[in-house]
Amino acid sequence: MKPTENVPLSRWTTFGLGGPARWFLEATSRDDVAAGVAWARARELPLFVLGGGSNLLVADSGFPGVVLRVAIRGIRAVGAPEILEVGAGEDWDGFVAHAVALGLGGIECLSGIPGTVGGTPVQNVGAYGQEVSTAIRRVDAFDRQSDRMVTLTPMDLGFAYRRSILNSTAAGRYIVLRVTYELGRDAAPCIAYRDVARVFAASSATPSLQQVRDAVRGIRRDKGMLIVDGDPDCRSAGSFFKNPVIDTAAFEALAGRLDGELPRFPAADGFVKVPAARLIEAAGFARGYRRGGAAISSKHTLALVNRDHATTADVVALAREIRDTVRDRFGVTLVPEPIFLGFAAPF
């Protein structure tokens, strides 16, 4: 590895925003990762581990420490064709395509999600009725506390909705190197989610994994949640807010205050998950609503976009306005999904 100074982080994020990293390192092996950690520590500099930059909002002033980009590649079967060990630097959607081509199910509804494999266990990536926690068998990581390589099991990782120890109780401690997934051979595709089921409603035949993957990518494209060159709605971090989980009594009260249906999705016993986009729209925010150079996507109210030479400050101001309005109207506080780098979380 060769350290590079003052690298603009906007080129490494899907938002296309943010100032420079004081130092930038790229790791293509686990030894590189260990060396990068030691390099930053020896200089008493803060360290941030970068994957695909798809869930990241960087301060306009940048980051005054070391950004370590994990670019470990490779996909290989381990013991059985359906058990795949994948480098943290592999493109996530590329891996999903690879698995579907092999006839392996369990992640087909996670097609089109930007970012790298290493980010998937961090926030238990999920969409359209699937979560990676059901497929992950183990995570190989570098433990910054003990300076050694460790293996984490699903039980160790403590998966929950958009959560694991990697972004909560042990945030910053572990650097993901490789993830091993156990997928389903000859598995039926998941079409439980309403948007996906609607695509196949007119057909009596069971769709293939590839057909479900194509359908999910189409749905994401229509919502501006698929990275497409030239589409201004793609300069975002995807869903900016998590879908809130509320108890059933709060759901009934909330549903009674809204005009029209309030969809509900399964959560833990006594709780339901509701779509943040529905609350944002009911609070009066329309697609395309702007604040400075930042805007709500023209395709989906859950995505905030860099519409017109936005600054990170523009995005934060818009997000705060949405959060505060939804909270004041409905008593539900929306929680952001992106990681904030170079400044304290503004929420």
CA distance 143 to 173: 6
Considering the candidates 82, 108, 131, 337, report the single residue annotated as catalytic.
Answer: 337
Q: Residue 125 contacts by C-beta under 8 Å, 6 or more apart in sequence?
A: 92, 110, 113, 115, 119, 131, 132
Angle among Cα 287, 290, 291 to the nearest 5 degrees reads 150
User: Residues 70, 27: contact at Cβ < 8 Å?
Assistant: yes
Active site residue 337: yes
For the chain, the distance separating the N- and C-terminal CA atoms, rounded to the nearest angstrom, is 36
Q: Residue 240 contacts by C-beta under 8 Å, 6 or more apart in sequence?
A: 302, 303, 304, 319, 336, 337, 338
Active site residue 178: no
What six digits make up the tokens of 267?
A: 């959560």
CA distance 134 to 121: 11
Considering the candidates 30, 69, 162, 220, report the single residue annotated as catalytic.
Answer: 162
Active site residue 30: no
Helix axes 92-101, 209-222, angle to 10 degrees: 150
E strands, 73-207, are 75-77, 83-87, 104-105, 126-127, 130-131, 136-143, 148-152, 174-182, 184-185
Give the total residue count for the chain: 347
Using a 10 angstrom Cβ sphere, with 0-12 exposed, 13-18 middle and 19 or more buried, the burial of residue 156 is middle
User: Residues 264, 254: contact at Cβ < 8 Å?
Assistant: no
What six digits make up the tokens of 7?
A: 């690298």
Considering the candidates 239, 297, 307, 323, report the single residue annotated as catalytic.
Answer: 239
Query: How many other CB atoms sit within 10 Å of the CB of residue 168?
Result: 12
CA distance 68 to 27: 7
Only one residue has tokens 């699903």, namely 154
CA distance 242 to 145: 30
Residues recognised as catalytic = 162, 239, 337
